[in-house]
């Protein structure tokens, strides 16, 4: 029984190994269709819970930026790009945005007070869409599944041990801090890199991504952290990293402008 559990865990790891767009190793246990269906279900639930904006100007603006970003998605991400993305603006003071597998994008009107122009909004949407393209949802779900399997395997191994309870507790902590949380930080960095590339290809000024995160930091100074910062930490290290990446994507931005790709979404 013990060997069988360990064999199952090992087989899952070996057969589900993949490589992210930046060359980072990933564990993907779920099929794309399954993850997309989860994205659809989650989006429907959010739409039922949140108030949807009926403001024509806001809707046109957000959809214009989002469509420019999704049109610029390179062919290499075809498997994760449904082509037609559903974009919904939620009437809420919350400073937040998200993208879900299956081609769903949500933007809260509170974000529009912090992302002060179309380029800054494109930085947020590009970042969120990049999470989808890099299959981060699949990765997080897979990590959780693997953690559950590891706990089950350990439970079998320690079945007759007097130290089972403390050992399981320690293992649980190790799983949380050693596997799940570090990957979250890696995913955020990856989405920053890909998002910057995406906004440049779409004709948005990548330098404005740096300005956006300064705005985010300023908006949360002396207050509760903004909702979006709970998973997208804005600190000087991140700003410095973005600033160092801008020169790398500047040629793509200039080429986009040369090709006449320069969105005009402000109306």
Is there a contact between 242 and 192 (Cβ–Cβ < 8 Å)?
yes
* Rounded CA separation 113/226 (Å): 12
The single residue of 75, 94, 128, 188 carrying the catalytic annotation is 128
- Tokens 């969105």 correspond to 263
What is the 3-class SS of 147-186, one letter each residue? HHHHHHHHHHHCCCCCCHHHHHHHHHHHHHHHHHHHHHHH
Q: Which of 43, 156, 51 is nearest to 105 (CA)?
A: 43
C-alpha 51: how far from chain center: 23
Establish whether 227 is a catalytic residue.
no
Contact residues for 225 (Cβ-Cβ < 8 A; gap 6+): none
Residues with catalytic annotation?
128
């Amino acid at each position: 029984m013990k060997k069988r559990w360990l064999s199952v865990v090992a087989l899952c790891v070996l057969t589900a190994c993949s490589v992210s767009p930046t060359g980072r190793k990933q564990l993907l246990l779920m099929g794309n269709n399954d993850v997309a269906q989860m994205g659809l279900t989650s989006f429907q639930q959010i739409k039922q819970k949140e108030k949807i904006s009926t403001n024509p100007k806001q809707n046109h603006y957000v959809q214009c930026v989002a469509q420019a970003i999704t049109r610029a998605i390179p062919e290499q991400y075809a498997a994760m790009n449904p082509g037609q993305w559903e974009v919904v603006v939620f009437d809420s003071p919350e400073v937040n945005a998200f993208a879900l597998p299956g081609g769903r994008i949500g933007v809260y009107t509170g974000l529009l007070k912090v992302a002060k122009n179309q380029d800054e909004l494109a930085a947020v949407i590009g970042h969120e869409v990049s999470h989808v393209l890099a299959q981060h949802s699949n990765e997080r779900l897979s990590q959780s599944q693997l953690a559950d399997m590891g706990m089950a395997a350990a439970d079998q191994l320690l079945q007759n041990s007097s130290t089972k309870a403390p050992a399981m507790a320690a293992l649980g902590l190790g799983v949380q801090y050693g596997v799940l949380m570090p990957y979250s930080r890696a995913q955020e960095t990856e989405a920053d890199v890909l998002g910057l590339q995406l906004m440049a290809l779409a004709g948005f000024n990548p330098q404005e991504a740096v300005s956006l995160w300064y705005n985010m930091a300023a908006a949360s100074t002396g207050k509760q952290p903004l909702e979006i910062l709970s998973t997208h930490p804005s600190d000087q290290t991140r700003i410095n990293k973005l600033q160092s990446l801008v020169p790398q994507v500047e040629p793509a931005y200039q080429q986009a402008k040369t090709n006449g790709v320069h969105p005009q979404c402000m109306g």
